């Protein structure tokens, strides 16, 4: 019997992206799936519990103001989860 995997899917208003560069002060440049580069920050509740590095696939939530330029990182995917997202054609970016 195949084990069922639960993976966080993008909800309305959330976009998948790849971390391009670390800028310091919990900020990073993310290339999103909607072909926009956003300056994203790690919110306070994730700061110590989630460790993000360049090349990671993350789920971002664009801000309501300056949403094309800035956003928050909501979730980081592991390599197994990224493989599943690619297999299901949810992640369609060229990495």
Contact (CB, 8 A) for 60 and 29: no
Res 8: pLDDT: 85
* Model-wide pTM > 0.85: no
Res 1: pLDDT: 56
Mean pLDDT in order along the chain per 10 residues (95 residues): 73 91 91 92 82 91 89 92 87 70
Res 43: pLDDT: 87
Q: What backbone phi and psi angles, to 5 degrees, belong to 79?
A: -65, -35
Res 94: pLDDT: 63
Nearest to 57 by CA among 6, 5, 7, 3: 7
Res 95: pLDDT: 53
Res 57: pLDDT: 92
Distance CA 46, CA 43 (A): 6
Tokens of 73: 């990182």
Tokens of 20: 């391009």
């Amino acid at each position: 019997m195949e084990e069922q995997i639960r993976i966080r899917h993008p909800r309305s208003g959330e976009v998948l992206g790849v971390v391009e560069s670390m800028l310091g002060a919990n900020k990073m440049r993310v290339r999103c799936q909607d072909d926009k580069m956003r300056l994203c920050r790690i919110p306070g509740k994730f700061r110590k519990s989630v460790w993000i590095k360049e090349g990671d696939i993350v789920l971002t939530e664009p801000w309501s103001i300056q949403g094309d330029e800035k956003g928050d990182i909501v979730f980081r995917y592991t390599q197994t989860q990224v493989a599943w997202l690619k297999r299901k054609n949810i992640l369609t970016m060229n990495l």
